[in-house]
Amino acid sequence: MIATVLAACGFHLRGQAELPFESLHIPGNNPLVVELKRNVAAASRTRLVDKPGEAQAVLGFTQELRDKIILSFSSQGKVSEYQLRYRVGFRVTDAKGAQVYLPTSEILLTRDMAYSDAQVLAKEAEEALLFRDMQRDMVQQIMRRLVAAKPATVPIE
């Protein structure tokens, strides 16, 4: 019965992502890159390669920034709320950069976080947890953009 209801509403498991290239090079080894490589390997048929010359496509990062902005102050002038920002810029080209699969794109994720001087250690742990959550969300958004990438010959600026 439940399977019938789920099938009727269009629900289906995520399954494998169909990336528009057979091999991919993702340079670097920071936590975002490691998680992205893990997702590409597990969720697609695209083969990850170590050298850009061996890849049909190269995903290059133009920026990766983590910011912490004050949102509000208490009546005593102390910080009461922060906004965490995670910004990643990237593009996907062929190994020579002549063919663009995905032009330079940027994803910005934000999370608001209440702050209290009385709970400094707990708030630092919460901040780290929120940034890890944003990183996982970032990887999923990049994966969705990779699936939608289409080859086009446009010069890179």
SS3 at position 29 = coil
Give the DSSP H/E element, type plus range, for residue 122.
Answer: helix 120-148
Give residue-wise pLDDT tens across range 60-81.
999 999 999 999 999 999 999 9
Domain 18-148: give its CATH architecture: 2-Layer Sandwich (3.30)
Q: Let me know: does 128 contact 100? Beta carbons within 8 Å.
A: no
* Mean pLDDT for the chain overall: 87
Question: Pick the residue with more confidence: 30 or 13?
Answer: 30
Residue 2, pLDDT above cutoff 90: no
Question: Residue 99's pLDDT band (boundaries 50, 70, 90)?
Answer: confident
| Domain ranges across the chain | 18-148
Residue 84, pLDDT above cutoff 90: yes
